[in-house]
Copies of this chain bind each other. A is one copy, B any other.
Amino acid sequence: MTTVETPRAGARPYPDEALDLDLRWWATANFLTAGQIYLLANPLLREPLRPEHVKPRLLGHWGTSPGLTMVHTLLNRLIRRTGQETLLVTGPGHGGPAVLAGAYLDGTYSEVHPEVSADVAGLTRLVRQFSTPGGVSSHAGVHIPGSIHEGGELGYALLHAAGAAFDDPDLLVACVVGDGEAETGPLAASWRLPAFLNPRRDGAVLPILHVNGYKISGPTVLGRSSDADLGAYLHSQGWDPVVVAGDEPRAVFRELDAALSTAHARIRALRAEARAGRGRVPLRWPAVVLRTPKGWTGPRTVDGVPVEGTHRSHQVPLSRVREDPAHLAQLERWLRSYRPEDSFDAEGRLVPELAALVPDGDLRLSATPRAGGPRFRVRPLPLPDLADHALPVPVPGVLQHETTRPLGGYLRDLLVRTGRADGGGDFRLFSPDETNSNRLGAVFEVTDRCSMLPLQPGDEAIGPDGRVVEVLSEHLCEGWLEGYTLTGRHGLFATYEAFAMVSASMVVQHAKWLQTAATEPGRSPVPSLNVLLTSTTWRNDHNGFSHQGPGLIDTVAPLAPDVTRIWFPPDANSTLVVAEECLRSRGRVNLVVVDKQRHLQYLDLDAARTLVSAGAAVWEWAGTEDPDRARTDSPDVVLAAAGDVPTMEVLAAAQLLREHVPHLRVRVVEVVDLMGLLPPGEHPAAFSPERFRDLFTDTVDVVFAFHGHPRAIHPLVHGRPDVDRFHVRGFTEHGTTTTPFDMVVVNRMSRYDLVLEALRRSRRVPEGGDALARLCREQLRRHREHVVVALDDLPEVRDWTWQR
């Protein structure tokens, strides 16, 4: 089997004059790339190069850059010829100066950053600012127009490209994947995209696997693999790769141009077939394997040691330029080899014949409206009415219901409202094969799981037009949703809480992107990244310890406060209200933590709206403060909860206290918006000192039952008055396959533990307290004896509902 096709098949003519111009453009881009890495001044080398023109600290990555500039050059040619709207995702984001050079030459960079103008002064600023304090960072980050991908943490290029292509039927997303990045897990898994990409309604992703052979200091696995193996690897996963290889620029340009135009023609054919109802199964999408030397066109050898084509060109090929006159001279020869005098006029403007190579307006790679540029638009979601999905909850704490199930109905209606005739839309649900398990299965009444693979008799809710994307990889779910939202569409990633940690680093990196983008000129807010953490720690009693872990809360809480929100709706209606808030929001990472199983329901829709908009509330119906007294007359102890299971345990504890120690003044506080606990100034959602006092007083001890690791509350409240008084119970990493109630016992968060802690911490203990404490200890003792043989909870626990 040969999987390697000739790149020339179907290629368009590439006249020598056009090639000459493109090579000059490429040289210009390479010149500006090297200039950014090295120069402080004298950006066009109009004077002999002197040490003081060179940055004292040389930073940046040259090795990958010439490949990136070549791709940019030839995509420009494709766009000029075809008018194809194209987004470029640059996996080797370390090649930031190359991507920035392209945006500068396109003219978009100066549009967004007028101080980096298209003249000598602007060029000086361009080179000086790069990787310089107060300047711009060294990756393909938010400061570069047209970029949706920073490329610092490797692995997500093809995921972001796929997310951008979903539901954008006429878009081409070209995606450069480095052979270093290709060793990562997320990238390796993301080659499976053809199983999920539908040419009828989705754009195309054209991977350009850039095999330059080396990482920082060693060879890459793919760099030492044969063309046949590389081809078979991609072909077997749904691609039809061509290999373009060489180190002679004219030849490589011709081959790559042919490969790109062939790929584009084939993509158009695939689209046309699919849209005429003649889809193929399985599809093979075009792909390019590009083998060119690392550090191409840079110094071949330095001090007698090979550099071009080796790992030594990864960062700065010549490192002692200021100190060593020979290095300085070699740098000058290298830079002058690009003939900048042919590219820029006297004012430092690109000469007209090169400027003519820039595609028109929004067709420029760095001006695409998909990537947050000036014409970027986000359609607000046509959200369904919550009232159509809310549960009737006439009294709190009696009805039991699967908390996430109404959300499934809401998402079903949202999918209908956001659907398009071609099968696409602007809202998707992503999940690792857990949509049904997470009680969101109502969505399958109106759509399918997306699959482009062969269907079989008996398949249920599976098909190419599915807008639920299920793949057993949190990385893929998270990364595809990131790409989808970064290009202005909306979605939800629903996952088991514990395994949300699999993609924790991606959430961190996405939060950093959003944080930086918020202050970047020319960037508009994108829809939030909404992550539903369900099948939670407390109710994975059946699956056991590996499935019990609230770690993502600990990961997200310290991130940028302007970006992060962590929600703990206690029941179904508050979950709906939180979901609406998250789907309306922009530029945030929203974690919504709520279990899927049957739980007590507390709030009707109005009460849920009130609670969520306040972020936290005193539940007077659950406490034993005298309602006639002013709030300033402090309770004896505060019981607080964040999370569904903690809420149930706190309410049960409050009821035990009310029944057995009726004269104790207990306040019950319910917290939904966790970040409200942070002190003012530390988070936009922080409760004011007055609100915090209204909830927790400034002096009374607080027994806090928390969904996550208990110590996670302390960093939030630090800075509030007298935080020694916060006594938190939560998940202390005691888990196994057991019962729900045993989970709260072994982690010392059960109602009995809470009562004992409340009695211990209360300012006074009226009559009955000692007897109640004995009762609680006895219940815990009985439980521990009982659980060894028990097959479910103690009866009095299982049947508990709120009674007043």
**A residues bordering B, Cβ < 8 Å?**
1, 40, 55-57, 59, 131-139, 141, 150, 152-155, 180-181, 183-192, 195, 215-221, 224-226, 228-233, 235-237, 282, 306, 310, 433-437, 449, 451, 453-454, 456, 458-459, 461-462, 470-473, 475-476, 498-499, 501-502, 504-505, 508-509, 512, 515-516, 542-547, 549, 551, 554-555, 557-560, 709, 711-716, 718, 722-724, 726, 733, 735-739, 742, 787-792
Contact = CB atoms under 8 A, between A and B. Distances in A.
Contacts of A226: 282
B462 A219 contact: yes
Given A185-B155, A722-B724, A733-B558, A217 B546 contact: no
Contacts of A718: 711, 714, 723-724, 726
B185 A473 contact: yes
Given A185-B189, A476-B185, A718-B714, A217 B435 contact: yes
Contact of A437 (B135, B216, B508, B723): B216
Contact of A451 (B219, B310, B436): B219
A231 B716 CA distance: 52
A582 to B, nearest CB: 21
A551 B508 contact: yes
Contact of A219 (B133, B456, B560, B789): B456
B59 A154 contact: no
A179 B764 CA distance: 60
Contacts of A512: 545-546, 549, 733, 735
Contacts of A221: 192, 195, 453, 471
Given A152-B547, A187-B189, A709-B715, 13 more contacts: A133-B738, A133-B791, A134-B787, A138-B544, A183-B472, A185-B185, A220-B472, A225-B453, A229-B237, A501-B555, A504-B555, A508-B549, A718-B726
B715 A711 contact: yes
A154 B543 CA distance: 13
B505 A138 contact: no
A420 B399 CA distance: 67
Given A232-B235, A555-B504, A471 B132 contact: no
Given A134-B787, A219-B453, A718-B723, A185 B183 contact: no
5 A-B pairs closest in CB distance: A152-B546, A185-B185, A711-B715, A224-B453, A137-B544
Nearest to A499: B153
B558 A475 contact: no
B505 A551 contact: yes
A712 B712 contact: no
A116 to B, nearest CB: 15
A59 B541 CA distance: 10
Contact of A183 (B189, B458, B558): B189
B791 A434 contact: no
Contacts of A713: 715
B189 A132 contact: no
Nearest to A733: B560
A147 to B, nearest CB: 13
A469 B473 CA distance: 25
A653 B14 CA distance: 65
B137 A737 contact: yes
Contacts of A180: 433, 472
Contacts of A215: 433, 470, 472
A744 to B, nearest CB: 13
A545 B137 contact: yes
Contacts of A559: 733
Nearest to A192: B221
A454 B516 contact: no
A135 B737 contact: yes
A1 B737 contact: no
A790 B453 contact: no
A425 B218 CA distance: 22
Contacts of A788: 133-134
Given A183-B472, A221-B453, A723-B718, A133 B230 contact: no
Nearest to A716: B711
A218 B501 contact: no
Contacts of A231: 236
Contacts of A218: 433, 449, 451, 461-462, 470
Contacts of A546: 139, 141, 150, 152-153, 509, 512
Nearest to A562: B733
A237 B233 CA distance: 7
A216 B451 CA distance: 16
Contacts of A542: 57, 59, 131, 138
Nearest to A2: B1
9 contacts: A1-B232, A132-B791, A137-B544, A150-B546, A185-B186, A187-B189, A233-B236, A501-B508, A718-B723
A39 to B, nearest CB: 12
Nearest to A475: B185
Contacts of A549: 508, 512
Contact of A236 (B236, B306, B435): B236
A554 B543 contact: no
Contacts of A131: 542, 737
A682 B543 CA distance: 27
Contact of A192 (B1, B183, B515): B183
A126 B520 CA distance: 62
Contacts of A790: 133-134
Nearest to A498: B153
Contacts of A152: 543-547
Contacts of A186: 185
Contact of A310 (B235, B458, B787, B791): B458
Nearest to A471: B183
A491 B22 CA distance: 51
Contact of A733 (B139, B189, B515): B515
A191 to B, nearest CB: 8
A729 to B, nearest CB: 13
A716 B718 CA distance: 12
A686 B542 CA distance: 33
Contacts of A712: 558, 715
A560 B733 CA distance: 6
A714 B554 CA distance: 13
Nearest to A215: B433
B192 A189 contact: no
A190 B188 CA distance: 9
Nearest to A437: B216
A138 B540 CA distance: 11
Contacts of A449: 218
Nearest to A470: B218
Contacts of A154: 472
A383 to B, nearest CB: 27
A226 to B, nearest CB: 8
Contacts of A306: 458
B133 A739 contact: yes
A434 B180 CA distance: 12
